[in-house]
Structure 1
Amino acid sequence: MIPKVIFILLILVAAAQGDFPDDPKPCKYGDAECIGKLFEYFVREKHKGDESIGLTSIDPLPVKKIPITVGSDSPVNIDLVVFNGKVEGVSTLKFVKMKGFGKDIAVNHEIVSQSDSLIFTGPYNLTGKVLLLPISGSDVCNITLCVVVKFNNLYNDKELSDNMNKLLNENVKELYAEISHLIDKGYAAIVRKVVTKVFATYPYEKFFMN
C-alpha cells in the first residue's frame, strides 16, 4: 500500500529578486509534468536546504505539532497530538499530480505526492477509543506511512501496549481511512510554510518561462 499525500496550497507572498538556477530549467505555466519534475528535483537534490532560494531542510522535515482528533461517531475515536517530531523520507517523494501553477499565484494549487515510505516520529499524547477499546498513553510514536504504527508505552504497561499496537496494525487499513485526511492536513500546513518561505525569498514567477 503506497499512501498518497495531498497538499492544497494557498500561497500569498511578497516579491523578491533573483535568477533561476541553471539546473533545472524553468517550466511553462500550468505544465503539470514539468512542474512535477521540478518539485522532485528540489526534494531530491535540495532536501538539506538551499539558502539562495530560502529553502529550509525538508528531510528530515521538522514537525512542531500535528493534532489528530476523530469524533465519537467513528470506530476510531481518538485525540492524538504529536509534537516536536520529524518526518523522514521526503526526498523520496514522487509527484503524481500537479494542479494549478498558472500565472495567478493567489489561487489553490494542488499537489498529490506518494512515497514508498514516510516515517513520522515524535513524542505523543493519546486518549480515546479504537474499535470500542479504550486507549491512552504518552511517549514516542512511529507512524510509517506504508502504513505501520507503533505507540510506545500505551497504558504504561508493555504487554498491553504490545497487544494494542498489534491490534492497530491488524486494522491499519480501517485506521488510516479514518485519520488520513487529518494527517494530510497536518502535512499540508507544514509544507505550506516551507513553500511560502521559498516564494517570499525567490519570486514565484522566476520558476517559470515568460
Structure 2
Amino acid sequence: MYERYILISLSWCCVLQTFVYGAELPSDIEKCHFGDSTCLMRSINDLIKRYPKGIPEIGLPALDEAKMDNITILETPQEYGPIWMSFHTTDNIYKGLNNATITEINGFDEDPTKSRVVVKARIPRLLHEATYEMKGKYLVFIANTTGKLQSDFQNVQLTLTFKVIMEYRQNKRYLKIFELTSVVDLDRWIVWLADLYRENSDLTIALNRSMNENWIEFWNGLEPSVVKSFTNCFTALLSNVFENVAYDDMFLNSTNTADYYMQK
C-alpha cells in the first residue's frame, strides 16, 4: 500500500514537472539556429520519419492514423425549397501524414511574431476515412442516409501560413497560433460513399462513379469546406506541440533569449 502511494506520488510529480517546466523534444532530433530554414526542414522531416506514431509527451498525435474532430462538409439552409443538403462526418481518421515531406519553411526567427510563418509540404497520398451522414433534397430526390466514407487525396501540395503571439511561462516563451490559413492543391481526388442509396446498390455504384468521373467539379464546389477541415486539423496539431514545448527549447543558443524579450 505504501509502495503504491509512493508510485502515485512520483507519477504526479512527473506530470506536474512537465506542466510547469515544459516538455522537451526527443534527444535524437536535431536542433537548429533561429531562422535556419534548411536545418529546420531537415530536422522536421527526420522527426516525421522517426515518429510516425507521434510523441505523446510533447502533444504530437499519431501521424500514420491521425484522429480528428467531427467535420461539416456541407450545410445549406433547409428552407423547404427544391434543393438543400447537409453532409457531416464523424470518426474521422487521416492516414498518410507520416509520409509528408516539408519542402519550404520560413518565419521561425528569433522573434517569430514579426512575420508570418510559412510551411509548405507534399503528401503523396492522404486517405480520409470516416462515417458520413447525409440529408438533403434535390428536386424529387430525397436523401437521408449514413455510411462509411473513404476519400483519397493524391499528391497533395499543402501551404500553411499563420501568425503567432507569445505567451510567457516560467521565464520561457510559448507560441500561440492565430490567423492560420491553408492552401491545398492536388492531382486527383477519389471518393467512395458506401450505402449512398441502400435500396439500390447499382445506383450507389453509378452515383459514386459519376462523382469520380467529374471529380474536379465536385472538388471546386466542396473545396472551401474541405480546406477548412484541413486548417482545423493542422491548427490543432501545431497548437498542441507549441503548448507543450517552449519555443526557445526548440532551438540552439537560446539561453538568454526569453529573458531578453521579457525585459523589453
How do residues 135-146 of structure 1 correspond to structure 2 at under 5 angstroms?
136=143, 137-146=145-154
Matched, 1:30 2:35: yes
Which residue in 2 is equivalent to 1:65?
Answer: 70
1:153 aligns with 2:195: yes
Alpha carbons 2:41, 2:103 under 8 Å: kept:
yes
Q: Distance in 1 between matches of 2:20 and 2:118?
A: 22
Alignment CA distance shift 1:55-1:139 (3 Å)? same
Q: In the alignment, does 2:105 pair up with 1:98?
A: yes
Post-superposition Cα deviations, 1:45-88, rounded to whole Å, max 9, x if no partner, equal: 1121223323222220002212112769xxxx853211112011
Alignment-derived partner of residue 178 in structure 1? 221
Over residues 150-187 of structure 1, what are the superposed CA-to-partner deviations in whole Å (9 max), with x where a residue is unaligned?
00111323111111100110011222233234223212
Query: What is residue 244 of structure 2 aligned with on the other side?
Result: 201
Q: Which residue pairs with 1:5 in the alignment?
A: none
Note the C-alpha offset of 1:138.
1.5
| 1:35–1:67 CA distance, 2 compared to 1 (3 A) | farther
Q: Which residue of 2 aligns with 1:42?
A: 47
Superposed CA offset, 1:77-122 (max 9, x none):
8532111120111110112232322234557533232212111001
The CA deviation at 1:133 is: 10
Distance 1:161 1:62 in 2: 27
Q: Structure 1 residues 206, 139: closer, same or farther in 2, change over 3 A?
A: same
Specify the SS of the correspondent of 2:125: coil
Alpha-carbon shift at residue 32 of structure 1 (Å): 2.9
Is the 8 Å Cα contact of residues 68 and 78 (structure 1) preserved in structure 2? no
Q: Which residue of 1 aligns with 2:257?
A: none
Deviation (angstroms), 1:193? 1.9
CA distance in 2, matches of 1:93, 1:40: 8
Alpha carbons 1:16, 1:200 under 8 Å: kept: no
RMSD in angstroms over aligned alpha carbons? 2.9
* Aligned positions, number: 192
Provide closer, same or farther for how the CA distance between residues 20 and 138 of structure 1 changes in structure 2, counting only shifts above 3 A: closer
Change (3 A) 1:207 1:145: same
Q: SS state of the match for residue 116, structure 1?
A: strand
Match of 1:54 in 2: 59
TM-score by length of 1: 0.76
Structure 1 unpaired stretches of 5+: 1-13
- Larger RCO: Structure 1 or Structure 2 (Cα < 8 Å, ≥ 6 residues apart)? 1
Give the number of the structure whose residues are more often helix, by fraction. Answer: 2
Whether the aligned pair in 1 keeps the contact of 2:25 and 2:58 (CA below 8 Å) is no
SS at 2:217's partner residue?
helix
Paired with 1:37 and 1:134, the residues of 2 have a C-alpha distance of 52
Counterpart pick for 1:116 among 104, 113, 124:
124
The residue type equivalent to 1:202 in the other structure is V
Among candidates 79, 83, 90, match of residue 83 of structure 1: 90
Distance (whole Å) between structure 2 residues aligned to residue 160 and residue 51 of structure 1: 44
User: What secondary structure, in the 3-state scheme, does the structure 1 residue paired with 2:206 have?
Assistant: helix
Q: For the structure 1 residues 50 and 20, does the alpha-carbon distance in structure 2 shift closer, same or farther, using more than 3 Å as the test?
A: closer
The letter for the 2-side match of 1:126 is M
User: Structure 1 CA distance, aligned partners of 2:135 and 2:245?
Assistant: 43
Percent identity of paired positions between Structure 1 and Structure 2: 20
TM-score by length of 2: 0.62
